[in-house]
Structure 1
Amino acid sequence: MRRSRTRTRARAERSVRRRRPALVAALLVVCFMVLTACSAIPTRGPVGVIPAAEPEVDAVAPAFDPVGPAPGATPERILRDFITAGTGAGDGYSVARQFLTPELAKTWKPEERIVLFRSDPRVEKRETEGVYQIQLETTGTVDSRGLRTNSALPASETLGVRMVQVSGEWRIDDIPDGIMLAQSSARDLLISHNLYFYSSNYRYWVPDARWFVRRTGVTARIVSAMLSGPAPYLQGSVTSAFREGVTLARDSVPITSGTASVEFSSEVLEDATSLGLQQMNQQLQANLLGLNDVTSVQMTSGRPIELGDPAPELVVPELTPDVGGEQVAVADGELVRVRNGATVPIEGMPSVAELQPRMPATSVSGSAYAFVNGDRSTLFVSAPGSEARGVVTGTALTRPSFDPENWVWTTRASGGRSSILAVPPGGTEANAAVLAAGWLGDRRVDELRVSRDGSRALIVADRDGTSELLIAGITRSPDGIPQTLTTPLALPVTGDIDTAAWAGQSTIVASSLSADEEATPVILQLDGDQETMAALTGVLAISAGSDAEDTLYAQAGATLYRRIGNSWVDEQLKVSDPAFPG
């Protein structure tokens, strides 16, 4: 178990991350209001946020002050000290470069790949003179784009190294690009930051979690990562206002009195419309506001870029879609709303008791409902004032999920494989979209939940008896028809996972299910952070609203429990299969 101080610190950091979207949303609204009042981006912000004498002040790492090579040091000592020197990012990793030959020092790329490790590295000499290897017990990696891959279980990696003598001192002549950081130091040396891209309909911001070394210049690296495009699993499901080929014109983003001045290459103006420029401005704000006290942005390309009057088509995307505080559930065989600690009938909803409803879902507007019957062979949709109608039949249908356009999603089993269907509003199986997802292979899908922005699908799958928690991007036609699921991002989980739910845009709650065994639900952040909840016996379902702090519930037996801190409090409501909209 973690120490109390570690838990407190982690909780505080999550609290900061939860507040940041609200801050950015508020700042975006303010900046949009300013945009409607003038034709150019504001060039001045609150005086004194960042002194003009310091053109760029980035997140500064804690004081890590590694030393250079010791005279007469052995090759093993040089390698161990080189690893330690990777914690010193100042002056372009000048200390770490002292351990390299002059030729390698010029070409070595320290942030090309960051290997995170636990326990002490092992350095071994090989039979060939000057050849060594570094063995690491790894917990994950961060690539040059800031994409972090975490291992559910500790893995190992071996790096080959060649050493030579330079003026009588051992130096590294060949080693893979990158640095090695102890997991215990990663939180201090790295910062997590969500990049934001537009959903395909430009109505929502979709987060893309990245990690960057905490050093001067981080603002420019964040903008460069944004210009390079989304993570692989989001490609095709989100869009950027910046065309391919646009780059930063210089390697820094000066911040003066709260205004970040971002100078782009000339490609930014090629075929650019007023709407396109204003969407670029919005995306830049979404990515930078609140970072290093940035309160406004200024786009330039040789000179300040004029935005013109707000285009009629310009909308402010939602940063954190709000699904409200009400849930849909089943009580006494009927669909009910769970509101303020009580169950209330759904006004105008005909009885569905004879269908033995299970696993209900509702649209964000509350105008449509869906559920499966007792043996999960038919998916029904209904609405107040309308009789339930079956729209999909099959075997082992999963809990339905509504996307923002009111398509109803489910999966069904056939021949040992799972297929994914999305039924349009008012549609049936005849005009449902069957999504291509060749990567599913022989995986059995146990659950599928569409994110509240409609751009991602959260999937719980079983592969040869092993649980997998996956996030795939949803690609759509120009008309918004779902087409494919991208090759997914795998989230690290240990043990059995039977169900999962979105708890906001960047948070997921997952748990095993059992009528009589103990479960320990886990809260996962897209940036890799995890928090294990208190154990609860007999968990049969979990549900989450717009965040995991205030709107996280678990059904244990026939009773609903609510999260309070790290504990579960019995709401004393006899309901089953609760679900927030979506």
Structure 2
Amino acid sequence: MNAWPRLQRVSILILLISLLSACSSIPKAGPIGTIEATAEDELGPRFVNDPPPPREGASAAAILDGFLFAGIGVSDNYSVARSFLTPALAETWEPEEEITIYRSDFKISSTPTEGELQLQLEVAAYIDGSGIRRNVAAGTTESITVQLEQVQGQWRVAEIPSGIMISAADAEAFLQPHELYFYSSSYQYWVPDVRWFVNRQGIATNIVQSLIDGPAPYLQGAVTSAFPENAALAVESVPIESGTATIDFTQDILTAADNLRRQQMEQQLRVTLTGLNTVNSVELRAGQPIDIDIDPDLVLPKQDPAVPSQQIVISDNELAFFQGGQLTTEDGVPSVSEFDPVDPAMSYDTRNFAFLNGDRTELMATGLEQNVRTVVTGSNLTHPSYDPANWIWTAGSAGGRSYVRAVPPGGSAGNAIEVLTAWLGNRTISEIRISRDGARALIVAQQSGKSQLLLSGVSRSEDGVPQALSDPISLNPTGAIDTAKWVTETSVVVADTANEGAVTATLIPFAANIDEYSPLEGLEHLSAGTGSTNVFAESGTSIFGVVGNAWTDQGVVARDPSFAG
């Protein structure tokens, strides 16, 4: 939704593109009142790279309003936006220090002090100078006091925080999401760190700078970077020529590193930058090209690993397998019917299994040619989740508090560990799913009657033992949910299975708009394999698969389907 009042925007846009017509105006004289941004219903594009400069004689409110709209003009280092500022502020103002995305109409109001205005926004998200996005709950507002001064008889903004403010609609064209890739602690997997950058020339430089600065706070301790803390660019630009991005580092960064570390740097840059359609290779320099020999110890990490197509289910109160529309059993899987099993899970090698008893007070583990053993006891235990190293994860409650526990491969109740979650507080966890790279935990929690969809980093010891879940970021579901599953490395599917009647499952990409599947009557359980078309649900004792956006009965009698992980 555009912030520029209609008459001012439309009159200028008529001269520029001859498309629009006028409809209202800002007062040019008299007392300053309240301005509300109007709905975007023009035929022209929301994203305008060359916004209009200040009008001579414009009121203080019009200057502030014009400055806000000019924030989407990136040309010549935001020169148009700077023209709305006093000369002193124009020198120090940092447009990309923080980007505020607002949900709906903002308001500019007068105060008793001349030249002082109050700006009110309903905020959707903040993006810091490293591209890290922080979503905030619907209804979050911010009030900013803005000072304006007369400069040669014209109002100009003299005091306002650095950064630009754009509508959620403008953000879709103005910002470009991009994955920075870091190594998992084992160097076996790439772990994506989604960032948001202004969609303009020089985006590759911003991406590289953010990559060498390190991961987002929630991933610190959960991932590894090939770049040392003192890594710096010798030339603050990353030119791209014939598909090759050239990154020039200060001399000591590359010369002080051994060949393996230099190759890990090159690999990390390449997998990150090839996300741009203009880059297919990278060249590292320290004043001159650096030769990098292939090191036999170099690990080629897996990116967004696929999961096996086979699912584990409960059929006739026993563990069974579902694949290609068929139910099968397998020799060597022990009987579990005496435990009234629910919520089965399977390791990525499809040889180890876990499930809950019917009361969800015991987490049981077994496998091919293995006995059934209890590995965790508690109350309200959540659907178990295997990580790539075969640790089994669950959450539950005991003594009036929630906790997260992890069981090592082949472990028992005696060596299950409690994972530190200092931020958990009074939240109740209804689901925890470890990502396929093992470095992140997807958590569905309830707090004060509201659902939260959280993403936390998994910190481990040097030998891979889980230690803590970092302070999470919020993925902000649109409504109540109680279950979530990984679909890809940067997307999840969620639903509120506690809802009666038809239930709508929602696909939530980390860097795109959400998408909804068709409602399914009585949806009780979700499972997700590789990709958004490999999602399944249970209703009653029937399993449904997604075809297009709708659900199709798979023609088997089973419950609680679950892919590996």
Question: TM-score normalised to the size of structure 1?
Answer: 0.87
- 1:571 aligned onto 2:515: no
Secondary structure of the corresponding residue to residue 438 of structure 1: coil
**Regions of 4+ moved over 3 Å:** none
Q: Kindly indicate whether the alpha-carbon contact (under 8 Å) linking 1:515 and 1:557 is maintained by their aligned counterparts in 2.
A: no
Q: Kindly indicate whether the alpha-carbon contact (under 8 Å) linking 1:379 and 1:393 is maintained by their aligned counterparts in 2.
A: yes
Secondary structure of the corresponding residue to residue 245 of structure 2: strand
Deviation at 1:342, TM superposition (A): 1.4
Q: Which residue of 1 aligns with 2:169?
A: 184
Q: Kindly indicate whether the alpha-carbon contact (under 8 Å) linking 1:514 and 1:538 is maintained by their aligned counterparts in 2.
A: no
Structure 1 unaligned residues grouped into runs of 5+ = 1-60
Secondary structure of the corresponding residue to residue 282 of structure 1: helix
Secondary structure of the corresponding residue to residue 387 of structure 1: coil
Alignment of 1:331-350 (within 5 A): 331-350=315-334
- The 2-side partners of 1:292 and 1:427 are apart by 46
Q: Kindly indicate whether the alpha-carbon contact (under 8 Å) linking 1:335 and 1:346 is maintained by their aligned counterparts in 2.
A: no
More off after superposition, 355-364 vs 131-140: 131-140
The one-letter code matched in structure 2 to 1:547 is G
- The 1-side partners of 2:363 and 2:140 are apart by 42
Q: Kindly indicate whether the alpha-carbon contact (under 8 Å) linking 2:179 and 2:275 is maintained by their aligned counterparts in 1.
A: no
- 1:449 aligned onto 2:438: no
1:501-542 deviations in Å (ceiling 9; x for gaps)? 111111111110137422211111122632222222211110
Q: Which residue of 1 aligns with 2:42?
A: none
1:168-210 deviations in Å (ceiling 9; x for gaps)? 1111111110111121111111101111110000010111111
- The 2-side partners of 1:265 and 1:63 are apart by 37
Alignment of 1:7-406 (within 5 A): 64-269=49-254, 271-308=256-293, 310-406=294-390
Deviation at 1:289, TM superposition (A): 1.0
Q: Kindly indicate whether the alpha-carbon contact (under 8 Å) linking 1:541 and 1:578 is maintained by their aligned counterparts in 2.
A: yes
Question: TM-score normalised to the size of structure 2?
Answer: 0.90
Deviation at 1:394, TM superposition (A): 2.0
- The 1-side partners of 2:348 and 2:377 are apart by 25
Q: Which residue of 1 aligns with 2:459?
A: 475
Q: Which residue of 1 aligns with 2:23?
A: none
Q: Which residue of 1 aligns with 2:540?
A: 557
- The 1-side partners of 2:119 and 2:377 are apart by 56
Secondary structure of the corresponding residue to residue 91 of structure 2: helix
Q: Which residue of 1 aligns with 2:413?
A: 429
Instruction: Decide whether aligned partners of structure 1 residues 374 and 120 sit closer, same or farther in structure 2, where only a CA change above 3 A counts.
Output: closer
- The 2-side partners of 1:267 and 1:132 are apart by 50
The one-letter code matched in structure 2 to 1:136 is L
- The 2-side partners of 1:121 and 1:411 are apart by 41
Q: Kindly indicate whether the alpha-carbon contact (under 8 Å) linking 1:326 and 1:337 is maintained by their aligned counterparts in 2.
A: yes
- The 1-side partners of 2:252 and 2:481 are apart by 47
Structure 2 unaligned residues grouped into runs of 5+ = 1-45
- The 1-side partners of 2:431 and 2:349 are apart by 23
Instruction: Decide whether aligned partners of structure 1 residues 512 and 146 sit closer, same or farther in structure 2, where only a CA change above 3 A counts.
Output: same
Deviation at 1:63, TM superposition (A): 5.1
More off after superposition, 291-300 vs 345-354: 345-354
- The 2-side partners of 1:86 and 1:516 are apart by 46
Secondary structure of the corresponding residue to residue 500 of structure 1: strand
The percent of aligned pairs where both chains have the same amino acid is 44
1:116-169 deviations in Å (ceiling 9; x for gaps)? 123332211211121112112222221111111223414222221111111111
More off after superposition, 565-574 vs 515-524: 515-524
The one-letter code matched in structure 2 to 1:488 is P
The one-letter code matched in structure 1 to 2:175 is L
Q: Which residue of 2 aligns with 1:411?
A: 395
Q: Kindly indicate whether the alpha-carbon contact (under 8 Å) linking 1:329 and 1:338 is maintained by their aligned counterparts in 2.
A: yes
Q: Kindly indicate whether the alpha-carbon contact (under 8 Å) linking 2:179 and 2:272 is maintained by their aligned counterparts in 1.
A: yes
What is the RMSD of the two structures over their aligned residues, measured on CA atoms? 1.5
- The 1-side partners of 2:126 and 2:517 are apart by 26
- The 2-side partners of 1:507 and 1:490 are apart by 13
Kindly indicate which of the two structures has a greater share of residues assigned to helix. 1
- The 2-side partners of 1:120 and 1:412 are apart by 42
1:345-375 deviations in Å (ceiling 9; x for gaps)? 1232122111211110001111111111111
Secondary structure of the corresponding residue to residue 411 of structure 1: strand
The one-letter code matched in structure 2 to 1:346 is E
Deviation at 1:270, TM superposition (A): 5.5
- 1:486 aligned onto 2:470: yes
Q: Kindly indicate whether the alpha-carbon contact (under 8 Å) linking 2:375 and 2:416 is maintained by their aligned counterparts in 1.
A: no
Secondary structure of the corresponding residue to residue 76 of structure 1: helix
Where relative contact order (Cα < 8 A, 6+ residues apart) is larger, the structure is 1
